[in-house]
Amino acid sequence: MAEKKYYVVWVGKQAGVFTSWAECQAMTSGVAGAKYKSYSSKADAERAYKEGWKKHWGQSAGSKSGTAGSAGVGKPSTAAKRRTSSAGATSADSAAEIDYDSISVDVGTRGNPGPIEYKGVDTRTGEILFYVGPVPNGTNNLGEFIAIVHALAYLKQQGSTKTVYTDSRTALSWLKKKSAVSTLVKNESTKQIWEMTERAERWLQNNTYKNKVIKWETEKWGEIKADFGRK
């Protein structure tokens, strides 16, 4: 049985503590700069709401209760930098907090497999930097993998070493291998997604990058900025 969650909305159509993701999404969808976060207990959620988003939103959890750490936003700690490789996929547990000078990617699907689309956005502002789709028949994981590589290629073209965020652990594991290990059947209906995947794999094999690619921790930070809102 799924663990009960409570959702704090500090900035949205209506602020407050909500008991379902659907309510939280309704209060934040389409709101520029919306700030929200999930908690495991009602008491923690109510306390976080009263204390305000500056203390809680965008911070890594400092305890099991979901109370955020006190480090300032946007400046990874020295220890976090030591634990993070200069050019590879890593868990966001190794980052003290969110690096807002970054790109976040996500995939929207209608069925899995099914039509997919993906985008990369500015993590701070939500500005869309690239958008692809719909692709007729693909999977969420393949889309996430392609989106990460698209972001890396986009940043390399600009000469930028900005961080890339993704909420897909599977895509991160494929990134390390430089290969997408998917069971999606190869036929005419999946031709486009597989061509895109193979192109992404070739890019990884023929290019190097210094960008960090980090797992976005949804339970701690709320939905990734590029989220399509299709929960």
CA–CA separation, 93 and 60 (whole Å):
8
Give the CATH number for residue 35.
3.40.970
In a domain, 208, yes or no: yes
Q: What is the pLDDT of residue 198?
A: 97
Domain check: are 209 and 106 in the same one? yes
Among the listed residues 75, 203, 83, the one whose alpha carbon sits nearest the alpha carbon of residue 148: 203
Torsion (CA) 97, 7, 164, 140 in degrees, nearest 10: 150
Exposure class string for 78-90: b at 16+ Cβ within 10 A, else e: eebeeebeeeebb
In a domain, 231, yes or no: no
What's the whole-number average pLDDT of the chain?
Answer: 80
Expressed as residue numbers, the domain containing 15 is 6-55
- Residue 147's alpha-carbon distances to 9, 28, 201, 206, in angstroms, are 28, 24, 12, 17
Confidence of residue 3 (pLDDT cuts 50, 70, 90): low
In a domain, 220, yes or no: no
pLDDT exceeds cutoff 60 at 209? yes
Domain check: are 107 and 172 in the same one? yes
Question: pLDDT tens across 127-181, in order?
Answer: 899 999 899 999 999 999 999 999 999 999 999 999 999 999 999 999 999 999 9
The dihedral sign for the CA sequence 137, 21, 128, 81: negative
Instruction: Please identify, among 38, 55, 72, the residue that sits at the C-terminal boundary of a domain.
Output: 55
CA–CA separation, 39 and 218 (whole Å):
11
Number of domains in the chain: 2
Q: Residue 181 half-sphere exposure, CB side, CA atoms within 13 Å?
A: 9
Rounded mean pLDDT, 31-53: 83
CA–CA separation, 58 and 159 (whole Å):
27
Domain check: are 31 and 134 in the same one? no
In a domain, 128, yes or no: yes
CA–CA separation, 101 and 27 (whole Å):
26
The dihedral sign for the CA sequence 77, 79, 82, 86: negative
Q: What is the pLDDT of residue 77?
A: 34
- Residue 12's alpha-carbon distances to 32, 43, 50, 146, 197, in angstroms, are 8, 21, 15, 31, 37
∠ Cα 177 179 180 (to 5°): 120
Q: What is the pLDDT of residue 20?
A: 85
In a domain, 91, yes or no: no
Segment among 35-44, 73-82, 183-192 with least mean pLDDT: 73-82
Q: What is the pLDDT of residue 219?
A: 84
Write out the two tokens for 221: 């930070």
Instruction: Please identify, among 19, 37, 55, the residue that sits at the C-terminal boundary of a domain.
Output: 55
In a domain, 11, yes or no: yes
